[in-house]
Structure 1
Amino acid sequence: MATTLQHLSTDEKSILDKINQLAHQIDPLSIKIQQFDTTNLYDELLRWKTETYHIIDQVYEQKRLQLQTIIEEHKSKQEKIISDTKDALLQLQVKGDATREEFEQLEKTLHNVQKTIDKFIMIKRRLLDINDSVIIELNDDCKSPNLTQSRPTQEFTFSHLNEEDFKSDGLRSYAKYRNLGIAKATNGMAVAHVIRFVPPFRPEV
């Protein structure tokens, strides 16, 4: 901890006071997280659900009217074909004479009507993908940094023992510190020291 807090202050009591102040913030933060009100979030999700159902109802009504129009138009067209065919048959019956070509044409017309009478229209359905219409994610301030993109370059380092490297410029006045050069090698991502206590020690040590 001494090496981590070294850059804050050389006054140990001041640092410890700041640590105590920081520690007092932990429990209130924990309570605040536990009591976090999620009502608005679930209400927003419910509004999305309601709006989505409303859109589905609108699309359904459009498709229902489209289907109704196609059915009525097809029925009208087929009824006219049947009516015209019926008139043509009556004329041939009254005339009492018909060519093979006339007979085959009328037979083909009725066959086509009969073939499509039950299967003249189909409905093709695709699965409705509405998952992308609502996105749930953390705010930018709460997202973890992308370490693969922001990690600074690092290099190999080593440190041989040299008594002259022990300095009395650390947090504790009764200790000497030997910097291992890790901060420079990792571009500040890590710090490492060898700590050697020197007499006279403080009572709490």
Structure 2
Amino acid sequence: MTATTLNPLSHADVSPAVNLELPPKKLLPWLQDKGSLTLKLKALCRSFEVELLQEGVLPAAQPGPGWELGQPIWQREVLLKLDGVAWVYANTEVPMSTLDASEIDFATLGRQPLGERLFAASNLVRGPLKVCHYGDNSTAVWQARRLGYQAQEGLWGRQREFELQHRCLRISEVFLPSSYPTLLKNS
């Protein structure tokens, strides 16, 4: 596996606050949808693109399913873009045991959406969705600001743990401010 040099997620709030306040009602169908977010987003645009921000092995900034704080895990940060506009910031965390034993070669995903491979994988067990509010110190808000968006009230997203061939991973998907006008209007 080749790994891109990663910037440590020191500015990250990898474990977001859950249910501190309620998200906009029209955003709930997106936050609670149990299917593939990739497929749902593709239905809204002519051009869907994954922009790889960084990927590789880093010490875990937070404990997760199958790993402890500080253990090396593979991480992938991407932006999901619809018609050239970043709508979703996504972070995938995979413990080394899952990386080594999975039918998915995470390290070669490149610009391919993980959702397409994940939901097609055999033996996939989906954990419950957690609706999350990402605050001022989160990586998601930091990315939104880097893109020029305001996020004074934080951002809404969801987090889910998966089991793939009896091994765990976690995916966090956060809706960026550019997605809200369409999602809040069409839901």
Greater relative contact order (CA < 8 Å, ≥ 6 in sequence) = 2
Is the shorter-chain TM-score for this pair beyond 0.5, marking a shared fold? no
* TMscore range, shorter length: under 0.3
**Which structure has more helix as a fraction of its residues?**
1
Higher alpha-carbon Rg: 1
**Which structure has more strand as a fraction of its residues?**
2
Q: TM-score, normalised by structure 2?
A: 0.21
